[in-house]
């Protein structure tokens, strides 16, 4: 297997638009929440954990019907 080596390609930010743009973490105030379906719930929980570590904001996730609800708790 052969690989092409490229030069001068900037490293993109770790998160799109500053922090994972797939979920509305940046827009959330304490007490706000959003719901995701069961297929997306694992991704949402992981993203909440990552966003929390990156910003110091705290998030709580709970099963809600056939999905998960994510709250900004602090």
54 falls within a domain:
yes
Assess contact for 34 and 72: CB atoms under 8 A.
Answer: no
Q: Indicate the number of domains in the chain.
A: 1
pLDDT above 90 covers what percent of the chain? 61
Rounded Cα distance between 17 and 12, Å, is 10
Give residue-wise pLDDT tens across range 25-59.
Answer: 989 999 999 999 988 899 999 999 988 988 899 99
Q: Does residue 48 form part of some domain?
A: yes
Mean pLDDT of 7-26: 72
- Which residue range(s) make up the domain with 51? 30-72
Residue 10 lies in a domain: no
Domain contains 18: no
In this predicted structure, the answer to whether residue 66 has a pLDDT above a threshold of 90 is yes
Strand partners of residue 2 = none
């Amino acid at each position: 297997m052969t690989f092409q080596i490229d030069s001068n390609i900037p490293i993109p930010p770790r998160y799109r638009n500053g922090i994972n743009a797939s979920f509305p973490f940046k827009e959330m105030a304490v007490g706000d929440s959003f719901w995701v379906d069961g297929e997306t719930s694992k991704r949402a929980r992981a993203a909440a954990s990552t966003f929390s570590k990156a910003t110091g904001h705290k998030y709580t996730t709970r099963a809600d019907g056939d999905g998960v609800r994510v709250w900004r708790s602090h």
